[in-house]
Amino acid sequence: MCMSDLPDQNISPEHKAFLKKVKLKKISIVFTQITLLILFFVMWELAARFEIVDAFITSQPTRIVKTVINLYREGQLFHHIGITCLETIIGFILGTAFGTLIAIVLWWSEFLSKVLEPYLVILNSLPKIALGPIFIVWIGAGPATIIVIALTISLIVTILEVLNGFLAVDREKIKLVKAFGANKFQVLTKVVLPASLPNIINALKVNVGLSWVGVIVGEFLVSKAGIGYLIVYGGQVFQLDLVMTSVLILAIAAALMYQGVVYLEKVIVGKRQHKSTG
Amino acid sequence: MEYIVEIKNLGKKYQSLNGEINALENINFSIRRGDFISIVGPSGCGKSTLLSLISGLIPKTYGRVIINGRESPDVPDEIGYMLQKDQLFEWRTILENALLGLEIRKTLTKRTKEDVVQLLATYGLFEFKDKYPSQLSGGMRQRAALIRTLATKPEILLLDEAFSGLDYQTRLAVTEDIYFIIKKEGKTAILVTHDIAESISMSDRVIVLTKRPGRVKAVHEINLSCKNRTPLSSREAPEFRHYFNIIWRELDVHV
Ligand SMILES: Nc1ncnc2c1ncn2[C@@H]1O[C@H](COP(=O)(O)OP(=O)(O)OP(=O)(O)O)[C@@H](O)[C@H]1O
Ligand SMILES: [Mg+2]
């Protein structure tokens, strides 16, 4: 009985060569990715400069930079970004928290879960955006409504995803803790929750995207502030520079937030596995 | 009190929409303290059901399960259950896994924790106590699972196909290993297995069940003429074949 397949500690020349090859491959991938991005913007700029495309409707990188600077000077830039990000983060946290909480309740009571099943299915297939105008009437045209829209979009998916994770937990693991005399609460905290943590984090990843959708759509509808508002406004006054700028900012913000969740995943899930790869 | 476990006229029927499954019928047997008992029987004859009934995990339909002279409605403290796979939680270290039962029973103190660390040390897992299960070999994982079971100081161990997840070589080594630990700790054990040779090699008695509904078909006292009996040396005993043949015939396997 010995340790299972741990790699050799002393590095052979073959292994060194292998590591080098892997590293080289990684570098060339990143390099190509960056080149593609630069190429895209350069082509865009050139196409607009030489009037191959109409910069009035396609905008162009230099104009976007100008727009960003203008927005910044007017103190608009971080105002709008801040509002949208805040709404998204709140919607995301509420969606995840309530979704997980409701999933726990449904896991606890099979009766309730059976009763609510058809409603959840219907709500899940309903395009939640259709509820937007209702929320505006009920809650008013403001950030609260936008957050509620983002919440409704991510909530049901979270509930279903997390509940499925709970139900997929190995019956034998539950039997094991029950054999120690565990009550239902202990089954939840000792087995079900930790075992489905990866599932919950997967739900988080999906939720980030959905929260952005909810917030942007909400801002379209409410049309007061935020990146979504800038996009609609820019479209209405035919300022494609503003629209393109906003979309780019959105892409960056969404990517950053997604990376945040990925990092969180590494911290939480990685903690239990990083030693096993070492 | 002579017997640690007494099963009296025990029966179990599972209810389902497709009808009733009569899993076990009129089971009677008793186990003396320190005995090692094996239960063999055809697939689906109710062996796991029997262990679940003894451990109070599922309600019985009729009959009595008396442990240390008491009948208990829930899971008795003196029972430790080992399942088919080791079921170590991959998010816990070996030590944390071993402490699971104490945590659940709310008996985790500095002292009981030290006892568990001592157990890990006695059985060669001390240096792995802060490792995760995925870093251990199959045999060591099984040993860790046994220590997790022993941590709550059970008097009776129930082993449900506890070794069937292992390859043959490891399985022989692990049965040897686990057998010694169980004997050293002076536990009473009930082993459910498909493996006739394993049942003879480890037990003082083998109980053969019929096809479903499971009933006791035969009980064999295993008396082997070998010194210093261990699971491996048992297999060398002259009587081994004899028991094997009888039980094989009783199981009446058709292909
Ligand atoms: N929860 C349950 N509900 C309904 N029927 C069940 C349930 N658990 C077991 N059974 C049925 O009861 C019978 C006995 O099952 P059990 O698992 O005890 O058999 P076993 O002897 O352990 O089988 P195996 O050798 O395959 O492990 C089987 O026919 C099984 O299908
Ligand atoms: Mg079974």
* Nearest-Cα residue of chain B relative to residue A268: B91
Average pLDDT over every residue of A161-189: 93
What are the tokens at B214? Answer: 């499971």
| Record: contact B131-A190, CB cut-off 8 A | no
| Record: contact B104-A180, CB cut-off 8 A | yes
A12 confidence band (pLDDT: 50, 70, 90) = confident
Q: Is B47 touching ligand 1 by the criterion CB < 6 Å?
A: yes
The CA A172 to ligand 2 mean position distance, Å, reads: 12
Mean pLDDT for chain B? 90
pLDDT score at A57: 85
**CA A74, CA A207: separation in Å to the nearest integer?**
33
Q: Is B52 touching ligand 1 by the criterion CB < 6 Å?
A: no
Neighbours of A170 (CB within 10 A): 12
B185 confidence band (pLDDT: 50, 70, 90) = confident
**CA A36, CA A16: separation in Å to the nearest integer?**
30
* Nearest-Cα residue of chain A relative to residue B87: A173
**CA B199, CA B197: separation in Å to the nearest integer?**
5
What are the structural domains of chain B?
A: 1-73+188-255 (3.40.50.300)
Reported as a single tens digit per residue, the pLDDT across A60-115 is 899 999 999 999 998 888 999 999 999 999 999 999 999 999 999 999 999 999 99
Q: Where are the domains of chain A?
A: 3-53, 75-277
Q: Which of A6, A179, A273 sits opposite B75 (nearest CB)?
A: A179
pLDDT score at B75: 84
Question: A132-139 and A143-167 helices cross at what angle (nearest 10)?
Answer: 120
pLDDT score at A271: 64
The residues, ordered by sequence, that sit 6+ positions from A51 with a Cβ below 8 Å of its Cβ are none
Task: List strands edge to edge, sheet with B62-67.
Answer: B19-32, B3-16, B62-67
Strands B188-192 and B156-160: parallel
Closest-lying ligand to the alpha carbon of B19?
1
**CA B63, CA B70: separation in Å to the nearest integer?**
14
Q: Which of A2, A179, A190 sits opposite B57 (nearest CB)?
A: A179
Average pLDDT over every residue of A133-153: 90
Atom of ligand 1 nearest to the CA of B45: 21
A199 contact residues in B (CB cutoff 8 A): none
- Hey, CA dihedral for B187, B193, B195, B199, is it positive or negative? positive
Reported as a single tens digit per residue, the pLDDT across B112-136 is 999 999 999 988 899 999 999 999 9
Closest-lying ligand to the alpha carbon of B43?
1
Q: Which of A4, A175, A275 sits opposite B137 (nearest CB)?
A: A4
The residues, ordered by sequence, that sit 6+ positions from B131 with a Cβ below 8 Å of its Cβ are A275, B93, B94
pLDDT score at A277: 39
Q: Is B134 touching ligand 1 by the criterion CB < 6 Å?
A: no
**Residue A53 clears pLDDT 50, i.e. is over it:** yes
pLDDT score at B123: 86
Reported as a single tens digit per residue, the pLDDT across B38-88 is 999 998 899 999 999 999 999 999 999 999 988 888 888 899 999 888 899
ipTM of the complex: 0.88
Q: Identify the three-state secondary structure at position B223.
A: coil
Query: Mind telling me how many Å the CA of A60 is from chain B's nearest CA?
Result: 51
CATH topology of domain A75-277: MetI-like fold (1.10.3720)
% of chain A exceeding 90 in pLDDT: 62
Provide the whole-model pTM: 0.84
Tokens 């003429």: give the residue. Answer: B225
Reported as a single tens digit per residue, the pLDDT across B130-171 is 999 999 988 889 889 989 999 999 999 999 988 887 788 888
Probe site for chain B from A1, A173, A269 (most B CB atoms < 10 A): A1
Reported as a single tens digit per residue, the pLDDT across A193-241 is 999 988 888 888 888 888 999 999 999 988 788 899 999 999 999 888 8
Atom of ligand 1 nearest to the CA of B58: 1
Q: Is B44 touching ligand 1 by the criterion CB < 6 Å?
A: yes
Cβ distance A200 to A165 under 8 Å? Answer: yes
Q: Which of B87, B91, B135 sits opposite A4 (nearest CB)?
A: B135
A186 contact residues in B (CB cutoff 8 A): 104
The CA B106 to ligand 2 mean position distance, Å, reads: 30
